[in-house]
Structure 1
Amino acid sequence: MSQPAAHMQIGEVAERTDLSLRTIRYYGEVGLVVPSARSRGGFRLYTEADVGRLLLVKRMKLLEFSVEDMGELLSLLDRLAEGAEAEAEHAALLHRLAGFESVVEERRAALRRRLSVAEEFGGLLRDQRRPFETQPASEETERR
């Protein structure tokens, strides 16, 4: 006999995911991560699977996926996990998943380019600062 899923209140979920309570509620309102249950007092209750889904949404958000794209991808992943699709439908789902993978790779490449620019810019700033660090202190600076 399997154990029922342990439930967590939203505060614990917020700590575990490093998401605000408002963000978690919003994701529920738009249907991305709906609480698995509610307590008798009406508190939202979440499972480990819900936490995993929130972490997935958090990653998608960092890669600037829209709420609509997040919903589409989550639905796609749910349908693949259920595995009840006909072979042709399964192939179509995998094709759509490959499309999302391509988008992720494009965004990773863009982030790498931005990081490279930031590193180069930081180097330029260090180069501008160095000549002033090696000059002897002025008399005014020495008097302080």
Structure 2
Amino acid sequence: MQIGEVAAATELSLRTIRHYDETGLVAPSARSRGGFRLYTEADVARLMVIRRMKPLGFTLDEMRSLLEATDRLDADEEPRPEEREELLERVRGFEEAAQQRVLTLRTQLERAEDFAATLRGRLHDAGGRDATTAS
């Protein structure tokens, strides 16, 4: 796929995808004869991992660390048992951090919804008063 197709599939901007390429998070699997970036489904899956990590506040270095661990775990050559356990532990740490960040976001969302409801109520009350004072 060319970068425009990848942008549409991932809902990321071309600029963001290029930035992730420049920072080494996701490199296109190939280039066309004309020099256009070409991406595979695996590249798109990698971008989706990054896209899901971003709203949880993970840094580029954290993203890179998780991707390196999953790349190594998915590699054809099986890691040594002690390395495998270290990689799994790293992934577990990210899973725990993600769960904690999701809880924090849920709390923030509840507070934001309460605030919006309060404003809605005030507007409703103010609208009712305007209707009675206008009569």
Amino acid at match of 1:132: A
Deviation (angstroms), 1:60: 0.9
1:68 CA drift (Å): 0.5
Q: Compute the displacement of 1:125 (Å).
A: 1.1
Q: In the alignment, which residue of structure 2 is the partner of 1:12?
A: 5
Over alpha carbons, which structure has the higher Rg? 1
2:125 equivalent to 1:131? yes
> Counterparts of 1:112 and 1:118 in 2: how far apart (Å)?
10
Give CA deviations for 1:48-84 in whole Å, capped at 9, x if unaligned: 1111111111111111111100001000001111251
What is the aligned residue count?
133
* 2:114 partner SS: helix
State the distance in 2 between where 1:98 and 1:25 align: 29
Structure 1 segments unaligned to the other structure (5+ residues): 1-7
Where does residue 55 of structure 2 map in the other structure? 62
* Aligned-pair Cα RMSD in Å: 1.5
CA drift of 1:138 comes to: 5.3
* Structure 2 residues not aligned, in runs of 5+: none
Aligned equivalents of 1:131, 1:39: Cα separation in 2:
62
Match of 2:71 among 67, 78, 84: 78
Q: Report the identity percentage.
A: 50
Per-residue deviation, 1:137: 6.0
> Given the two structures, how large is their TM-score scaled by the length of structure 2?
0.91
Structure 2 counterpart of 1:3: none
